């Protein structure tokens, strides 16, 4: 389910100033949901996700627990397959075991890319200095070194075509997409071309993944499901 928003191409420079300017009085004291399911005046903005109540407009428990903002539209994430959950946890654990001290691992945390863009990647590598900031609800692109999306049946279009260009335009250096093929994980690896601000595919990995960037990392992909 989505609610209609705009599709303007917000940039990273928009994050610090425009969000606050656009968050008017209608966004205070529950005003975000005044005209639900239509967006508030001016459309949905990244900061709105921090103002959404725990319950839905009709008292539904955890209604807004799993929601992200893409192109100004609220995306409600569907219940996930076991494959999705296991791969996220196993990959995060492998990252924690092998990542250098300068990096920390986060799972299913938002990244604010612009006024209308606040996706929630499945796994992230962030600056280690942020690891103990337990009040954070979102990171900026400058704080993120890698985003990983584990594809679900309902997220194929977003994970394959919609989100990657937005991550790249924001300057996030590394993007991985993990898909289930024949019951096994396959990892599609991309690296940012700084000249074009677009991702370049660097490999499709079956069976075993061995990379030198963003840090030396090696894993038997079967371990992601074991």
Q: What are phi and psi of 114, to 5 degrees?
A: 180, -175
pLDDT digits (tens, 9 = 90+) for 87-103: 999 999 999 999 999 99
Which of 207, 204, 205, 212 shows the shortest CA–CA distance to 223?
A: 207
Angle (nearest 5°) at CA 164 between 162 and 165: 80
**CA distances, 52 to each of 4, 56, 75 (Å):** 17, 9, 13
Per-residue pLDDT tens digits for 166-207: 999 999 999 999 999 999 999 999 999 999 999 999 999 999
Closest CA to 6 of 117, 96, 98: 117
- CA-to-CA dists, residue 222 to 131, 190, 191, angstroms: 28, 21, 24
> Rounded to an integer, what distance in angstroms lies between the CA atom of residue 225 and that of residue 84?
10
**pTM: predicted TM-score of the whole model, two decimal places:** 0.85
Q: Which residues pair with 185 in a beta bridge?
A: 180
User: CA-based diameter of the chain, in Å?
Assistant: 53
């Amino acid at each position: 389910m989505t609610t209609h928003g705009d599709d303007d191409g917000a940039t990273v420079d928009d994050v610090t100033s425009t969000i606050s300017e656009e968050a008017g009085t209608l966004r205070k004291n529950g005003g975000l949901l005044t005209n639900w399911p239509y967006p508030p005046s001016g459309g949905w903005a990244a900061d709105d996700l921090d103002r959404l109540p725990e319950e839905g407009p009709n008292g539904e428990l955890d209604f807004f627990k799993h929601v992200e903002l893409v192109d100004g539209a609220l995306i409600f994430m569907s219940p996930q397959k076991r494959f999705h959950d296991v791969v996220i946890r196993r990959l995060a654990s492998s990252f924690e075991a092998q990542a250098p001290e300068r990096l920390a691992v986060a799972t299913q945390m938002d990244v604010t890319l612009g006024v209308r863009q606040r996706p929630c990647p499945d796994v992230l590598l962030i600056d280690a200095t942020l690891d103990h900031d337990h009040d954070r609800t979102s990171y900026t692109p400058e704080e993120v070194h890698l985003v990983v999306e584990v594809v679900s049946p309902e997220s194929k279009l977003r994970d394959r075509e919609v989100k990657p260009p937005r991550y790249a335009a924001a300057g996030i250096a590394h993007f991985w997409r993990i898909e289930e093929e024949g019951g096994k994980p396959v990892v599609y690896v991309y690296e940012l071309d700084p000249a074009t601000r677009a991702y370049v595919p660097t490999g499709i990995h079956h069976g075993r993944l061995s990379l030198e960037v963003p840090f030396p990392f090696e894993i038997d992909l079967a371990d992601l499901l074991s």
